[in-house]
Amino acid sequence: MALFVLAILLAVPLGLDLYMPVPEGNPLTFEKIELGRRLFHDRRLSRDRSIACASCHKPDRAFSDGHPVAIGVARRLGRRSAPPLINRGYGRAFFWDGRAASLEEQVLQPIQDRNEMDMTLPEVSARVGLSPEEISRALASYVRSILSGNSRFDRFVNGDRLALSPEQRAGLQIFRGKGNCTACHVGPNFTDERFHNTGVAWRDGRLHDEGRSAVTGKVEDRGAFKTPTLREIARTSPYMHDGSLVTLDEVIDYYNRGANLSPGLDPELRPLRLTTAERQALAAFLQSLNGTVSDGRR
């Protein structure tokens, strides 16, 4: 892994002064980001030329789509929700279950998924006149350029005490304290990049999605999903891997009642007994995580 200068150039204006890991085989260049942007909006990547990456990852929704589960070619339904694609260059594993180890590997999967774009790599190569490697490198570079930062929360931690309202400051305290959210939503992107069973896939005593255990084969990973970022969270409803919770109030109520009881529920989850005012403060704090989303345009 090389630390690459361009990543820093893109991140600093947003107050994200972190180093983004970029694979040595695919250094970031503006040319590749631009090619990736064009491919991201190119409907020829789907069988019936109806769907682009941007159909499910809409720039004005922090690159999520507003649907509970993804809708692909011929209106075929997937089984999971399209996640926002912000600050993914800092990620360590991709997809809700982490089955892709790199963005280069990840970006070719939707093209070949029957319920998403339903193409083969030779077909896509022929249509756009690029090799699968060129497509993969360009799309991965573009995804790395999609960043969110400079939120009211960022300005607050950088010393602007008035960037958060008193209610939002109270919400931040609950987020870190009584709410125990930072047990998992931690660090600059509000994710530990790990997998937890938060009970969402368990309903009526039944597991509806294997989650991480489909990758690891481990019983303790049944129903575990990757902790998602909370940046831009007010813009990416509906929530969870299956889009089953529509509003942030519903999400907070879910955690407040201690999640769906299930085998192997993460020990960090328990009934929180938050008052109405505390729940409202937590929701107000989550609103402060909306910032500026940029995608590598100079």
Contact residues: ligand HEC, CB under 6 A:
40, 45, 51, 53, 55-57, 70-72, 78, 80, 82-83, 85, 88, 91, 94-96, 103, 106-107, 110-111, 116-117, 139, 143, 179-181, 183-185, 196, 198, 200-201, 225, 227-228, 230, 233, 236, 239-241, 251-252, 255, 266, 268-269, 282
8 Å CB contact between 28 and 144: yes
Cβ distance to ligand HEC smaller for residue 11 or 252: 252
Cβ distance to ligand HEC smaller for residue 33 or 252: 252
Q: Which amino acid, residue 81?
A: S
Q: Which amino acid, residue 160?
A: D
Cβ distance to ligand HEC smaller for residue 14 or 245: 245
Smallest distance, Å, CB 151 to ligand HEC? 15
Smallest distance, Å, CB 224 to ligand HEC? 7
Smallest distance, Å, CB 81 to ligand HEC? 6
Smallest distance, Å, CB 257 to ligand HEC? 11
Smallest distance, Å, CB 31 to ligand HEC? 18
Smallest distance, Å, CB 267 to ligand HEC? 8
42: left (phi over 0), alpha (psi -120 to 50) or beta: beta
Cβ distance to ligand HEC smaller for residue 162 or 219: 219
Token pair of 254, please?
């879910």
Cβ distance to ligand HEC smaller for residue 113 or 159: 113
Cβ distance to ligand HEC smaller for residue 228 or 296: 228
Alpha-carbon distance 68 to 242, whole Å? 6
Q: Which residues of 62-98 are buried (b: 16+ CB within 10 A; e: fewer)?
A: bbbbeebbbbbbeeeebebbbbbbbbbbbbebbbbbb
Token pair of 144, please?
């790395």
Among the listed residues 255, 289, 278, 88, the one whose alpha carbon sits nearest the alpha carbon of residue 184? 255
